[in-house]
Amino acid sequence: MTIKNKLRAGFSFLFLLALVCCGLSIYFLTRLSVDARDILKDNYKSVQYTKNIGASIDASAGLLNSRQTELIEENLVKQEHNVTEHGEQQLTDSLRVKFDALKALNGDEAKAVQLHTDIKRLLYGIMQLNMNAIEHKYATAKKTADDATLLVAFVGSFLFLVAFSFTVNFPGYIANPIKELTERIKEVSKRNYHQQLNFKSNDEFGELGQAFNTMTKKLDEYENSNLASILFEKKRIETIINSMHDAILGLDEKSFIIFANEVACTLIGMPEESLTGRYAPDISIENDLLRNLLVNDQIKMKIYADNRESYYTKEVLSVTSKDKVIGSVIILKNITEFQQLDDAKTNFIATISHELKTPISSIKMSLKLLEDSRIGEVNAEQKQLLENIDEDARRLLQITGELLDMAQVETGKLQLNFGSTHPKNIVDYAVKALKTTADQKQVSINVHCDENLPDVQADLDKTTWVLINLLSNAIKYSHEKSVVDLIVKIYKADEIEFSVQDHGRGIDQKYLSRIFERYFKIPGATAEQTGTGLGLAIAKDFIEAQAGKIGVESEIGEGSRFYFTLKRIGN
């Protein structure tokens, strides 16, 4: 039965009981009223009539006067119409006979006294009969009242008990399941899905319990499958991270270590259990590598671990979620193999370029001798061939020079001869060196260099080399008869900036970040333009070795501006 129907049935039952109680009360009250009316009508009036007749008889003390006769007649007639008890008719009839006889007497006093006595006896009889009836009827009425009281009290008590039990139990009947449901829902909200409701009833609560149990079962299944897949994925990611040759260290946003793979543990020299969950700066106090990883911006690192020296590059990735940094991952990439190959390549280049320099110089020397007329005249065609060989030998010498410089930088053998020099000196050397090249292309170099500029702290040769390189590129990539601006100015109070601005073809934005990489050449250069792709890379090394900065700004079709800075001396 549904709760609605149960409530209807319960209230109807209570209503019915109240109705029964009321009905019984009305029934018994009616019966009592009927009994009382009967007593009044049947007996009390008869007693009253006999009392009136007796009073008139007593007042006469012999023969009746007309007033007394009239009174007795009136009451007797009423009594004759109110005969209700067994034997009363007979006594009333006798009373009529005696009264008629008394009325018919003609001065016989003795007979009158006798009739008075008879009448009084009869009146007493009638009165007694009615008094007995009153007593009997009163007893009956009392019994009815007692029965009614008992029955109404019983039904009332039963009704009270039912109503009381209804009042006590009904709120619980509704509230208890709701309370239990609330408790279970609270548990579910704490992700405790092992919750079951035991509502056995066949009503809405039973249905609710079943629906709830199904829901928690499904949630539990979902949670378990989810958890299992999350754990599986976690294990898989851990395995992948552990099987990597790179060292990987994960930190949360407060710099607590979340994970460290096997390579990271080996390099740091601590087991994973001693790392995870700990505050990284605390460990770094005693651990040099961790300190370097956290504090140094250095990208390339030489690490001694596992009884050998290895090279690593450091990469720090910050982990963000919804624009909020939630941690970082430090990756140490093992580049030992590449480093060894790079070293071998550098050594090879250094050896070859060194070995090539002597024969090329001797070719140049021989060419010089050939040009001398004392050795013999050469015709115009031979002269042109000799010039070509000379140009090629110059280029070869330049290339081997650049390769040697680069090898020097890479092997860390770069030696700087620092000295104080005026920027004008550097500019003059460079412009002079490139004068012929610029003239050949009819490119004019506009120099803007203030004589009042302070001296700079620099290696004159290397810095001039850099400026020559930038100017030579600017001329190379300029259109004929155009202008190259060479500007030297004070930059950020303590630095001097040298910049070379051309109005050539410019550089595509996508190549700008790679322009200073070794051997990088922008595709599409003509045969005359193309070089080794080493010039800018070496320039960068030279400038950075002097604590300066080098950079480029360029707009395709507009030209390029290459610049570098050097520390000034004094203020």
Long-range contacts of 195-199 (CB under 8 A, 24+ apart): none
Q: How far is the CB of 466 from ligand ADP (least distance, A)?
A: 10
Q: Which is nearer to ligand ADP, 202 or 530 (CB)?
A: 530
Q: How far is the CB of 499 from ligand ADP (least distance, A)?
A: 12
Q: At 445, list the tokens.
A: 């170099």
**Which residue lies nearest ligand ADP, judged by its C-beta?**
531
Q: Which is nearer to ligand ADP, 267 or 507 (CB)?
A: 507
Q: Which is nearer to ligand ADP, 278 or 518 (CB)?
A: 518
**What are the beta bridge partners of residue 310?**
303
Q: How far is the CB of 322 from ligand ADP (least distance, A)?
A: 41
Q: Are strands 324-334 and 444-449 parallel, antiparallel or unpaired?
A: unpaired
Residue whose C-alpha is closest to residue 253's, from 330, 332, 331, 324: 324
Q: How far is the CB of 401 from ligand ADP (least distance, A)?
A: 12
Q: How far is the CB of 559 from ligand ADP (least distance, A)?
A: 7
Q: Which is nearer to ligand ADP, 515 or 566 (CB)?
A: 515
CA atoms within 13 A on the CB side of 333: 11
Q: Is residue 460 within 8 Å of residue 421, measured between CB atoms?
A: yes
The full DSSP string for 208-236 is: HHHHHHHHHHHHHHHHHHHHHHHHHHHHH
Q: At 89, list the tokens.
A: 């008719």
DSSP 83: -
Q: Which is nearer to ligand ADP, 222 or 520 (CB)?
A: 520
Residue whose C-alpha is closest to residue 131's, from 47, 70, 63: 47
Q: Which is nearer to ligand ADP, 450 or 508 (CB)?
A: 508
Q: Is residue 123 within 8 Å of residue 50, measured between CB atoms?
A: yes
Residue with tokens 């040298």: 498
CA distance 386 to 392: 10
Q: How many helices (H) and strands (E) does the chain have?
A: 16, 12
Q: How far is the CB of 267 from ligand ADP (least distance, A)?
A: 35
Q: How far is the CB of 227 from ligand ADP (least distance, A)?
A: 56
Q: Which is nearer to ligand ADP, 294 or 445 (CB)?
A: 445
Which residues in this chain contact ligand ADP in the complex, by CB under 6 A?
469, 473-474, 477, 502, 504, 507, 515, 520-522, 525, 530-537, 560
Q: How far is the CB of 518 from ligand ADP (least distance, A)?
A: 8
CA 406 to chain centre: 55
Q: Which is nearer to ligand ADP, 159 or 537 (CB)?
A: 537
Q: Is residue 79 within 8 Å of residue 49, measured between CB atoms?
A: yes
